[in-house]
Amino acid sequence: MPYQDMFVVFWEQVKQSIQEERFAKLTMAKTIGKPDLKNIFMRPVHSEDGHKVLVKFRYRSKETDDVENELTLEAAFDLLKPHLRKSFSSVLLFTTTKDVTFKINKKGAGSISENSPTFHNVIIAEKNQE
């Protein structure tokens, strides 16, 4: 299945884990090439108006500050999607019941695998106060 379609299936698991309060963290990893962007992390954040997440862009260069944005799930999906296959070849979803890994192979096909959970508790992110 093309990675774009498989990522939609994967994202449904992200949304479900957030709705069920099992979502611990999401990490985009396995960079392609040597981009300045090292990782993208996503954690749940308290919000009065629905489910929101804190998305953090971490850079390799010490001169580049990390960037954090508090977003809705839809906005986070739109922000992360362009980084697939361009910057990252895998996305890891950590929940309190299982870890789910989304991978893109060299031919552009997506796959999803599951493992035992790494996290047993949900840690709510705190937005940096500057």
pLDDT tens column, 99-115: 999 999 989 999 999 99
Would you place residue 23 in the very low, low, confident or very high pLDDT band (cuts 50, 70, 90)? very high
Characterize 82-105 residue by residue with b for buried, 16 or more Cβ atoms within 10 angstroms of its Cβ, and e for exposed. Answer: ebbbebbbebbbbbbeebbbbbbe
Q: How far apart are CA 115 and CA 123, in angstroms?
A: 20
Pick the more confident residue, 26 or 120. Answer: 26
- Helical packing angle, 3-19 and 73-80, nearest 10°: 150
Helices (H), the chain: 3-19, 73-80
69 burial (CB, 10 Å; 0-12 / 13-18 / 19+) is middle
Does residue 126 surpass a pLDDT of 70?
no
Mean of pLDDT values over 90-100:
96
